[in-house]
C-alpha cells in the first residue's frame, strides 16, 4: 500500500489546498510535498537493487476488460519517482512569492495544481497496468494545462492551448493502440492489460508494429522528439520557471519512460524493426535542437530547446539496445532533470532581477550578484556535460553506445557536445559578463530561500558526478531484464589477433 499512499497523498493534498484559506495554502502544500518526499525516500531505502518490480499492488478494477489497479516500481520507475518527489518541494519553495503575482490565478491554485500533477506523475511511473497508465497519462494534462495557462507571461493562453492540442492528439493515437491490445489479448484467451501478461504475449509481427507506432508517437510528442516538438519552446517561454521545471523535468520524462517500459517491453520485435527511423529522428533532434538553441534571445525558450537535443540523446541511448545505452538513457533522465531544473530556477531569479527574459538586454551581473552568477554557471556547465557533474556520466554512456551501434551515428551525436558548449557559454557571457549597467549596481544577490531551492540540485549534480554508483546499482538490473526481454545482447568487443614470430631474423 506504500505506493498508493505515495500517489494519493499529493492528490488529496491538492484537494485540501483548494479548500483551505489562501493564508494556509502555501504552507500546507509545501508540507504535503515534503511528506511525499519522505515517503519516496523510504521506498528507495527499502528497495532491493536486484529484486525486479517491488512493492506490488494488484486489485481488479474492470473485470470485463481485464483492467487492474496495479502498481509497482523497478529501477527505472524508482529513480523517476525520486526525481519527482525531490523537484516538487523545490519548485514550491522557488515560486513562493511569484505565484501571487498580479494577473496570475493565485498561489492557492498554483500549489493545488502542482500537487495534483505530482500525484498523477507518480501514478504514471508506478502503473503496471496499461489501461491505468493511459488514464493517468491523460489526466496529467489537466493540471499541466492550468499551470501553463494560469501563470506566466502574456501569450500563455495560446501556449497552453497548443500544448494541450499536441498532447491530446498523441493521447488519441495511444488510445487506439490501447484498444488494440485488448483485442489481441482477448484473442489469446482472457483479456488483460497487466504488463506482466502483455510482456509474455505473442502479438504478431504486423499487429505489433502498428500498435508500437501508436505508443511511440504519443511518447515522441510527450518527450518531445523531432518533428513533434513544436509545442515545447512556446510553452517554456510563456510559463513560469517553476512550471517549466514541472513540464520538462518531470512530465516530459513520461515520454522516454514509456519508450523503455512499453515500446521495448511489449513490442520488442517492432522496436528493433523501427530502430533506423527512431535513431534518425533522435539524431535530427540532437543537432537541430542544439543549433536553434544557439540563436535564441529569450532565455527560457533557449533552455526549452536545449531539452529537445537532450531528449534526442536519451532516445538514442534507448534504441541502441545495449547496456551502456540503456543505462546512460536512464541516468540521463535523472541528471537532465536535476541540471535543467537548476538552470530554469536560476534563470527565473535572473529574469526577475533584470525585468526581462531577453538575453540581449542583460549583462554585467557577475560582479554584483556572485552567488547568482556562480549557480547559473554550474547549472549551465551541467547542461553541457562538464566532467565532474552528473550529466557527463550519462552523456558518455550514450555516446559510447552510439559509436558501438555505428561510427557515423556516434560522430553525429557527439556534435551535441560542441554545440552545447556554444549555447551555454555564450548565454553566460551575454547575461553575466561585461560592464555593469548603473541601474543594476544595487541588485541584490540570492536570498536564503532562493539558494535553498537550488542548493540540493547543485549538491546532487556534484555528488552523482563523482559517485554515480547509487544510480547504476538501481538501473543496471532493470536494464539487464529489459535487454533480455527484447532479446538482444551487448556487442562483443573486437580483439585483433596478433601473431608473434619468434626467432625470425631481422
CA distances from 395 to 192, 310, 365, 493, 495 (A): 38, 9, 31, 21, 26
The H or E element that residue 343 is part of is helix 323-354
CA distances from 455 to 87, 299, 351, 451 (A): 12, 21, 19, 6
CA nearest neighbour of 212 among 177, 167, 176, 168: 177
Length of the chain: 506
pLDDT at site 101: 59
pLDDT at site 497: 46
Largest Cα–Cα distance in the chain?
A: 95
Q: What is the pLDDT of residues 253-264, one digit of tens each?
A: 999 999 999 999
Q: Using H for helix, E for strand and C for coil, what is the string for 22-89?
A: HHHHHHHHHHHHHHHHHHHHHHHHHCCCCCCCEEEEEEEEEHHHCEEEEEEECHHHHHHHHHHHHHHH
Number of H helices, E strands in the chain: 23, 2
Q: Specify whether the CB–CB gap between 12 and 117 falls below 8 A.
A: no
pLDDT classification of 504: cutoffs 50, 70, 90: very low
Evaluate if residue 240 carries a pLDDT over 80: yes
pLDDT classification of 506: cutoffs 50, 70, 90: very low
Residue scoring higher pLDDT (495 or 251)? 251
Cell of 75: 529501477
pLDDT at site 500: 45
Q: How many angstroms separate the CA atoms of 96 and 89, rounded?
A: 10
Residue 423 CA neighbour count, 13 Å, CB half:
31
pLDDT at site 344: 92
Mean pLDDT of the chain: 87
pLDDT at site 338: 93
Q: Specify whether the CB–CB gap between 198 and 127 falls below 8 A.
A: no
pLDDT at site 491: 60
Q: What is the pLDDT of residues 26-83, one digit of tens each?
A: 889 999 999 999 999 999 999 988 778 889 898 988 888 888 999 999 889 999 999 9
pLDDT at site 493: 47
pLDDT at site 21: 82
Evaluate if residue 499 carries a pLDDT over 50: no
Residue scoring higher pLDDT (235 or 494)? 235
Cell of 235: 510553452
Evaluate if residue 232 carries a pLDDT over 90: no
Q: Where are the beta strands (DSSP E) in 390-483?
A: none
The pTM for the full model equals 0.90
Q: What is the pLDDT of residues 410-457, one digit of tens each?
A: 999 999 888 988 988 988 888 888 777 777 777 888 888 889 989 999
Q: CA 429, 433, 436 angle in degrees (round to 5)?
A: 145
Burial 257-282 (b: 16+ CB within 10 A, else e): bbbbbbbbbbbbbbbeebeeebbebb
Q: What is the mean pLDDT of residues 187-198?
A: 83
CA distances from 284 to 313, 357, 417, 436 (A): 10, 28, 14, 39
Evaluate if residue 501 carries a pLDDT over 70: no
Amino acid at each position: 500500500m506504500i505506493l498508493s499512499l505515495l500517489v494519493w497523498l499529493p492528490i488529496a493534498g491538492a484537494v485540501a489546498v483548494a479548500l483551505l484559506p489562501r493564508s494556509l495554502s502555501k504552507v500546507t502544500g509545501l508540507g504535503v510535498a515534503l511528506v511525499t518526499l519522505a515517503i519516496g525516500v523510504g521506498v528507495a531505502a527499502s528497495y532491493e537493487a536486484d529484486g525486479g518490480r517491488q512493492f506490488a499492488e494488484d486489485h481488479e478494477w474492470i473485470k470485463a476488460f481485464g483492467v487492474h489497479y496495479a502498481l509497482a516500481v523497478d529501477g527505472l520507475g524508482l529513480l523517476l519517482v525520486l526525481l519527482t518527489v525531490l523537484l516538487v518541494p523545490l519548485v514550491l519553495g522557488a515560486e513562493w512569492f511569484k505565484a501571487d503575482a498580479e494577473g496570475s490565478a493565485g498561489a492557492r491554485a498554483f500549489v493545488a495544481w502542482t500537487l495534483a500533477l505530482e500525484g498523477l506523475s507518480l501514478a504514471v511511473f508506478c502503473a503496471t497496468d496499461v489501461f491505468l497508465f493511459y488514464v493517468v497519462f491523460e489526466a496529467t494534462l489537466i493540471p499541466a494545462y492550468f499551470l501553463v495557462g494560469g501563470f506566466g507571461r502574456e501569450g500563455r493562453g495560446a501556449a497552453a492551448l497548443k500544448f494541450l492540442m499536441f498532447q491530446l492528439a498523441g493521447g488519441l493515437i495511444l488510445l487506439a493502440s490501447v484498444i488494440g491490445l485488448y483485442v489481441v489479448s482477448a484473442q489469446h484467451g482472457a483479456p488483460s492489460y497487466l504488463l506482466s501478461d502483455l510482456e509474455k504475449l505473442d502479438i504478431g509481427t504486423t499487429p505489433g508494429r502498428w500498435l508500437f507506432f501508436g505508443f511511440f508517437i504519443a511518447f515522441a510528442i510527450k518527450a518531445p522528439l523531432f518533428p513533434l516538438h513544436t509545442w515545447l519552446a512556446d510553452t517554456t517561454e510563456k510559463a513560469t520557471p517553476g512550471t517549466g521545471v514541472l513540464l520538462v523535468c518531470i512530465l516530459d520524462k513520461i515520454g522516454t519512460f514509456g519508450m523503455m517500459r512499453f515500446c521495448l517491453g511489449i513490442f520488442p520485435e517492432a522496436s528493433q524493426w523501427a530502430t533506423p527511423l527512431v535513431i534518425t529522428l533522435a539524431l535530427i533532434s540532437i543537432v537541430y535542437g542544439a543549433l536553434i538553441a544557439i540563436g535564441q534571445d529569450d532565455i527560457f525558450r533557449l533552455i526549452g530547446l536545449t531539452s529537445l537535443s537532450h531528449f534526442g540523446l536519451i532516445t538514442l541511448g534507448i534504441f541502441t539496445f545495449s547496456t551502456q545505452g540503456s543505462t546512460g538513457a536512464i541516468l540521463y533522465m535523472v541528471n537532465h532533470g536535476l541540471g535543467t531544473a537548476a538552470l530554469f530556477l536560476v534563470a527565473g531569479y535572473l529574469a526577475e532581477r533584470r525585468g526581462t527574459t531577453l538575453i540581449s538586454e542583460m549583462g554585467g551581473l557577475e560582479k554584483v550578484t556572485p552567488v547568482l552568477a556562480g549557480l547559473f554557471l554550474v547549472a549551465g556547465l551541467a547542461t553541457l556535460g562538464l566532467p565532474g557533474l552528473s550529466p557527463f556520466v550519462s552523456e558518455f554512456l550514450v555516446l559510447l553506445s552510439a559509436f558501438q551501434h555505428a561510427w557515423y551515428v556516434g560522430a553525429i551525436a557527439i556534435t551535441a557536445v560542441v554545440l552545447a558548449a556554444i549555447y551555454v557559454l555564450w548565454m553566460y557571457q551575454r547575461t553575466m559578463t561585461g560592464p555593469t549597467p548603473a541601474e543594476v549596481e544595487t541588485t541584490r544577490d540570492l536570498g536564503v530561500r532562493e539558494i535553498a531551492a537550488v542548493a540540493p540540485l547543485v549538491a546532487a549534480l556534484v555528488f552523482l558526478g563523482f559517485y554515480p554508483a547509487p544510480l547504476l546499482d538501481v538501473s543496471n538490473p532493470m536494464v539487464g531484464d529489459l535487454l533480455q526481454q527484447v532479446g538482444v545482447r551487448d556487442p562483443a568487443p573486437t580483439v585483433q589477433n596478433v601473431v608473434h614470430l619468434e626467432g625470425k631474423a631481422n
